Structure 1
Amino acid sequence: MAYLNYNGSWSWEVISNYNNIELIIMAFVTILLAILWYKITTLSSSSPSFPPGPRSLPIVGYLPFLGPELHKQFTTMTKSYGPIFKFDVGKKVHIVISTLDLVKEVVRDEDETFANTKITVAGSIITYGGQDIGFSNNTYWRNLRKIFVHEVLSNKNLEACSCFRRDEVRKTINNVFTKIGTKVDIGEIAFTTVYNVITSMVGGNASNNGAKDVKRMAELKVLASKIFELFGKPNVSDFFPSLAWFDIQGIERESNQQHKKLDRFFTRMIEERTESKFKKFDNKGVGHDQQGVNKKDFLEVLIELTEQKQINVTQMKGLMLNIMIGGTETVTTLVEWAMTEIIENHKVMKKVQEELAQVVGVDNIVEESHLGRLEYLDATIKETFRLHPIAPFLNPRSPNKDCIIGGYTIPKGCTVFLNTWGIHRDPRYWDNPLEFNPDRFLTREDKTYKFDLNGNNLKFLPFGSGRRVCPGIPLADKMNKYILASLLHSFNWSLPKGEKYDISEKLSITLKKQKPLIVVPSQKLPNVSLYI
C-alpha cells in the first residue's frame, strides 16, 4: 500500500505490514461489499412503484380538487388512471381500488395485512379512542368481535328478542294506519321502529316510558345525525397532523361535545339497567323462556362481561355505539332507499305485494317466520344495496406494512378505499347496471358463490368481506325484511300529488337520500282489526 513520504516521493513500505492471507481477506470483503451494494441498488431501482394518479399541488396535495361526491369522482377517475390509483392530501397517501381482482387481494390474499382500519380525529374521539368494532385495531378487534357475535348477536339471543321486534313493528303499522291519506316520512317511521326495537333489545324493556322515551329517541337521532356528519367531513387535522393542535375547522371540539352527550346517554342506560338487573320482567312473559326463566338482554350480557373482566366499561360503551348508532343508521337508510325504488317501480311493488299475499295471506299479519320465504323481497333488498350501498367505500383499510397490490407498492399506514359503489355499477359485472332490477338476484349467481350479504361473492359487498365484514348482518337483515314486508303488506304507497321521483344523494360516511322520502299510505288489507 502506497503513501507520500516527507520528501515528496512515494513509498510502498506499508504493504509490507500485511501478509498474503490478510490481503486475500481484504480483497474478498471488498468484492462482497461491491456485490451487496449492486444488489441493493438493483433491487431498489426495480421495486414496484406507487400506483398512478393525478398530479398534486405543493403542500396541500390533491385536496382542492376533491368534491362532495367522492364515490362518483373516484369512479370517474378510474377511466384516467386505471383500477388502482393514488392521490396525496398533505403528507397522507390515499389509494382507491375499483376492481374485483384487486379487492380480492386486499380482503382475501392480504386480509391480515389490511386488518386495521383508518381512524380519523372525529372517529377516535367518538369511539373512545377506537374501542369499538368498527375502528379498533386488530389486537382488540378479535375479542370485541367474538363477544359481539357470540354473546350479543348470537342466534339464541336474536330469537329470544323476537317479541320486541314484533311488538314494535305492530306499533308502527298501527301508527301509520292512523295517518292514512296524509303525508308521512318513511325515514322517520323506519328510525322510530328501529330505535324502539334496539332499545328494547339492549335494555330489556319495550318503549313504554311515554314522554321520557320520546325525548331519548329524539336525542339519539340528533346525536346519530351529527356523529355521521362529523365522521364524513374532511378534516385538515387528519391530512396535516402538525396542524391538529389548531383544530382549524373545529371538528375536534365538536366531536368532544357530541362524545360527552353520547357518553351521558350510555351512562344513563347502564345505570338504569344495573339498578333493575335483578328485577323480573312484566307478567306478560316478556324476557322469559318457556320455563319462565329470565332471558338476558344485550346490556345485561355486557354488564356481566365487564364484571368478569372480559371487557372494560369503555369497550362496553363502544359496543353500544355499534348497536345503537350503527344499527339504526344502517336500517333506516336502507328502508328509505328501498321504499324510494319500490314506489317508483310499480312492477316491483306489485311483485313484492303479490308474494306477500301468497306467503302471508291477506287475512294475516307479517311474522318473522314468513321472512325466509319472501324470495322476491330479499332480492329487492339486495338490489337496493347494490344500487345504493350504505357505505360506498366500506370502512377504509390501512396496511400494517408495505405490500404489493396489483403490482404496485402500497405503503404502510396509507388509507385504502374499496370503491364498492363503482363495482356495484360496473357493466363488466352487471347487465344494465343503472337499472333497478331485483330479478338479477333470482336468476344469476356466480359459479362458486351466491349473492349473499356476507361478501362471499366479491361483486356484491354491501357489508364488506373478509375478517372486517360487518358483524351486525343478522340483525340488520331481520329488521330490513320485517319492516319492509310489514309496510308493503299492510299499505299501498304513492307519492303526494305533484311530487316527483327523487334519488339525489348526500355522502358523509354513509350514502343517504338528499331529501326525505315523503309518501301517502292507503289501506290495503280488508280486515281493519289487523291494523290495531
Structure 2
Amino acid sequence: MLDWIFLFLTISLCLASRLLLSKQWNTSKKRQTPLPPGPRYSLILSPMFWLRRSLSGLESILRFLHTKYGPILTVRIISRPAIFVADRDLTHQALIQAGAAFADRRDDTEATRLLNSNRHNISSAPYGPLWRLLRRNLAAEILHPSRVRLFAPARRWVLSILVTNLKAKAETGDGVVVVMEGFQYAMFCLLVFMCFGERLDEKAIRDIEAIQRLLLSSFIKFNVFSFLPTITKLVFRERWNLLLAIRQKQEEIFIPLIRARKGRKQQPGDGDGEGEDDGHGSFVYSYVDSLLGLQHPEDGGRRLSEGEIVSLCSEFLNAGTDTTATALQWIMANLVKHQEMQAKLLEEIEGVVGSDVEEIKEDDLQKMPYLKAVIMEGLRRHPPAHFVLPHTVTEDLTLNGYLIPRGASVNFTVAEMGWDGKVWEEPMEFKPERFLAGGSGEGVDITGSREIKMMPFGVGRRMCPGLGLAMLHLEYFVANLVREFEWKAVDGEAVDLSENFEFTVVMKNPLRARILSRRTLESFHDTLKR
C-alpha cells in the first residue's frame, strides 16, 4: 500500500510538469471527426483507476460503458486513447474489410519487450516482414494438416496420460475428480512435444510448466510498468527483479533443449522433417526445428537468437495449452450438466466406431456432426478469451463516423459477438443443436470472412493461426473422454458455470465430476498399442 501511495505522489509531481505538453498534444490531435464517446479522462486519476482493475472488473465496467455510450467507445487509460468495439458489424468492417489498416500492434512496454525479445513473436510483432515470416513459418511448417497428422502418435500418448491420470484420481477420490489440472498437464505435454520434438520425462515437463505458470500468474503484476517505467521500476523494484528472474530461469530451461535440438538436427539421417515419432526415438519435425533455419528479414538476414527462439517457444506453449484446456473443461462441464447431450454424443460415437474397445481416431471425427456442434457451442458460449489482443492503426482512420487515431489501442469484445441476441436465440443457453442442419449456426464461418457471428479465435489477419489444431484437439479429446467415461454430477452438487478471469476465462469453481469407466484401463492401453 505504501508503494502505491509513494507512486501516486511521484506521478502527481511528474505529470504536473507535463500537463501543459499533454494539453498541447490533445489540441494538436483535434480533428473535425470526433473520437468515439467515453468517460472523461483525468491525467492522474484515470491511470490509477484502470491499471488496478482486474480483468473481470474491466469487462463489467466496459459492459456498463457500452450501454451508456454505444457499441464503440473511448477509454483513456494513459494519455493515448483505447477504443473498445462491441458490435459484430463494426468488427467486420475493421478487421475484415479494412484488415490491413487494423493489423498492427501497439509498441510494447519495457516489461513485455523483455519477455518477447523486443517484439520477436507472432502476437506482438509489428505488421510487416518479420510478422509475416514468423506466422507463415508456424502455419506451413507446424500447423499445416500434413504436419499435424504426424503428431497423431503424440496425441495418442497424451490421451493415455490423461485417462490414466483421471482413473487414478477417481480411485482415490471415491470416483470424484477435479479435472482442470489433468487437462492442463495433458495439453502441456502435447505442446511441449510439438515444440521440442521429444517425449520429455515428467520432471522436465513439470519444470517447463512451472516457469510458464509463474509467468502467467505474475503477468498482471507487471501492468504497472506500462506507466512511467523509469519511475515504476524504482518504486516496484522487487517486482521488476522478479520479472528478470523469471526470464532468466526460462532461458536456463529452454536454451539447453534448443541446443540439443540443433545438435540432433545436424546428425546424419535426422532433420528431414518427414519422420514420425513411433516411440523408439525416430526424428519428428518440431517447432524449434522450423525456427533454427529462419533468417531475419529486417536485420541483415541473420538467424534468430536463442533468446528470440525462447520467446517464440514460450508463446507457442502458452497459446495452445490453457486456451484448449479451458475450452475442454467448459465443454465437459456442460455435458455433465446436460446428461441428455452426453447420451446423444455417446450414441453418435458408438454409431461411428461401434461399442467395442476401438480408439476414436482422427478420421472418425469427420463423421460426427453432433460432436462438432457441441464443440462449436462450447466455444460460442464460453470463449476462453473475452477480448482479442489489442490492435492498432498506423494512420488516422474512421470507423462508424468516429476517428480512430494513429497509435490508439483498438480492442474487440469476443464474448459479446457470440452472445448477440440478434443472431442467437437464447444466447446464454447451451444448445448444440444450433449448429446442426436448420439451426441458426448452421454453416457458421468462425473465421468471420463473410460475417461475424462468433469469433473465439479472433478474425482477420491477426486471427489465431492455431484454429484448426485447436478444433482437432477439442474434438479428439472430448470424443475419447466421453467414450472412456460416463460423466456425472457429484451427488448434492450442481455444476456451477460462473466465470473467473485468469490468463483465460475459467470456471470460478473448477469442474468436479464423478466418472465411471466404460472399460478397464488395461483394455484401453491395449487398444492404444495397436
Is TM more than 0.5 here? yes
2:419 paired residue number:
425
SS of the aligned residue for 2:74 comes to strand
> Please, which of 287, 296, 304 is the counterpart of residue 276 of structure 2?
287
Per the TM alignment, residue 232 of structure 1 is displaced from its structure 2 partner at its CA by 4.2
- Letter paired with 2:312: L
- Letter paired with 1:491: F
Tell which deviates more after alignment, 119-128 or 355-364: 119-128
Given that residues 50 and 410 in structure 1 are in contact (C-alpha distance below 8 angstroms), is that contact kept between their aligned partners in structure 2? yes
Given that residues 166 and 367 in structure 1 are in contact (C-alpha distance below 8 angstroms), is that contact kept between their aligned partners in structure 2? no
Per the TM alignment, residue 266 of structure 1 is displaced from its structure 2 partner at its CA by 1.4
Per the TM alignment, residue 348 of structure 1 is displaced from its structure 2 partner at its CA by 1.8
Given that residues 177 and 531 in structure 1 are in contact (C-alpha distance below 8 angstroms), is that contact kept between their aligned partners in structure 2? no
Counterpart CA distance in 2 for 1:222 and 1:46 is: 49
- After TM superposition, the score normalised by the length of structure 2 is 0.82
Following superposition of structure 1 onto structure 2, how do residues 94-109 of structure 1 map, counting pairs within 5 Å?
A: 94-109=82-97
Query: Aligned in 2, Cα 1:98/1:251: closer, same or farther, shift over 3 Å?
Result: farther
Per the TM alignment, residue 94 of structure 1 is displaced from its structure 2 partner at its CA by 1.2
1:49 paired residue number:
34
2:225 paired residue number:
237
Q: Does 2:314 match 1:321?
A: yes
2:501 paired residue number:
507
1:477 paired residue number:
471
1:75 paired residue number:
63
Given that residues 116 and 312 in structure 2 are in contact (C-alpha distance below 8 angstroms), is that contact kept between their aligned partners in structure 1? no
Q: Does 2:152 match 1:162?
A: yes
- List per-residue Cα deviations over 1:245-303 (Å, max 9, x = no partner): 4354855433322222222221121122234332779xxx97269xx995533333332
1:136 paired residue number:
125
SS of the aligned residue for 1:506 comes to strand
Tell which deviates more after alignment, 370-379 or 511-520: 511-520
Query: Aligned in 2, Cα 1:288/1:522: closer, same or farther, shift over 3 Å?
Result: closer
Given that residues 104 and 394 in structure 2 are in contact (C-alpha distance below 8 angstroms), is that contact kept between their aligned partners in structure 1? yes
> Please, which of 311, 314, 336 is the counterpart of residue 329 of structure 2?
336
Counterpart CA distance in 1 for 2:472 and 2:286 is: 18
Query: Aligned in 2, Cα 1:215/1:108: closer, same or farther, shift over 3 Å?
Result: same
Tell which deviates more after alignment, 298-307 or 158-167: 298-307
Percent identity of the aligned residues?
Answer: 25
2:44 paired residue number:
59
1:13 paired residue number:
none
Query: Aligned in 2, Cα 1:45/1:218: closer, same or farther, shift over 3 Å?
Result: closer
Counterpart CA distance in 2 for 1:442 and 1:404 is: 38
Tell which deviates more after alignment, 76-85 or 271-280: 271-280
2:13 paired residue number:
none
Per the TM alignment, residue 310 of structure 1 is displaced from its structure 2 partner at its CA by 5.8
2:288 paired residue number:
299
1:33 paired residue number:
none
Q: Does 2:358 match 1:397?
A: no
Following superposition of structure 1 onto structure 2, how do residues 106-117 of structure 1 map, counting pairs within 5 Å?
A: 106-117=94-105
Structure of higher CA gyration radius: 1
SS of the aligned residue for 2:487 comes to strand
Per the TM alignment, residue 179 of structure 1 is displaced from its structure 2 partner at its CA by 4.1
Q: Does 2:141 match 1:151?
A: yes
Counterpart CA distance in 2 for 1:407 and 1:421 is: 24
SS of the aligned residue for 1:296 comes to coil
1:34 paired residue number:
none
Q: Does 2:350 match 1:357?
A: yes
Given that residues 434 and 440 in structure 2 are in contact (C-alpha distance below 8 angstroms), is that contact kept between their aligned partners in structure 1? no
Counterpart CA distance in 1 for 2:268 and 2:325 is: 32
Point out where structure 1 has 5 or more consecutive residues left out of the alignment: 1-43, 208-212
Query: Aligned in 2, Cα 1:254/1:488: closer, same or farther, shift over 3 Å?
Result: same
Per the TM alignment, residue 168 of structure 1 is displaced from its structure 2 partner at its CA by 2.0
Given that residues 392 and 407 in structure 2 are in contact (C-alpha distance below 8 angstroms), is that contact kept between their aligned partners in structure 1? yes
Counterpart CA distance in 1 for 2:207 and 2:66 is: 41
Counterpart CA distance in 2 for 1:392 and 1:409 is: 24
Given that residues 153 and 277 in structure 2 are in contact (C-alpha distance below 8 angstroms), is that contact kept between their aligned partners in structure 1? no
2:199 paired residue number:
206
> Please, which of 413, 434, 437 is the counterpart of residue 440 of structure 1?
434
Query: Aligned in 2, Cα 1:437/1:63: closer, same or farther, shift over 3 Å?
Result: farther
2:510 paired residue number:
516
- List per-residue Cα deviations over 1:309-331 (Å, max 9, x = no partner): 56443443233122222211211
1:29 paired residue number:
none
- List per-residue Cα deviations over 1:163-193 (Å, max 9, x = no partner): 1112221332244334444332321221222
Point out where structure 2 has 5 or more consecutive residues left out of the alignment: 1-28
Tell which deviates more after alignment, 512-521 or 433-442: 512-521
> Please, which of 239, 248, 251 is the counterpart of residue 263 of structure 1?
251
Query: Aligned in 2, Cα 1:288/1:95: closer, same or farther, shift over 3 Å?
Result: closer
Tell which deviates more after alignment, 116-125 or 132-141: 116-125
- After TM superposition, the score normalised by the length of structure 1 is 0.82
Given that residues 46 and 78 in structure 2 are in contact (C-alpha distance below 8 angstroms), is that contact kept between their aligned partners in structure 1? yes
SS of the aligned residue for 2:425 comes to coil
Counterpart CA distance in 1 for 2:239 and 2:366 is: 44
Counterpart CA distance in 1 for 2:234 and 2:96 is: 40
Counterpart CA distance in 2 for 1:133 and 1:483 is: 27
Counterpart CA distance in 2 for 1:527 and 1:62 is: 55
Query: Aligned in 2, Cα 1:280/1:193: closer, same or farther, shift over 3 Å?
Result: farther
Per the TM alignment, residue 215 of structure 1 is displaced from its structure 2 partner at its CA by 2.0
Q: Does 2:65 match 1:93?
A: no
Query: Aligned in 2, Cα 1:73/1:341: closer, same or farther, shift over 3 Å?
Result: farther
Counterpart CA distance in 1 for 2:406 and 2:485 is: 53
Query: Aligned in 2, Cα 1:478/1:235: closer, same or farther, shift over 3 Å?
Result: same
Counterpart CA distance in 1 for 2:242 and 2:159 is: 35
Per the TM alignment, residue 386 of structure 1 is displaced from its structure 2 partner at its CA by 1.3
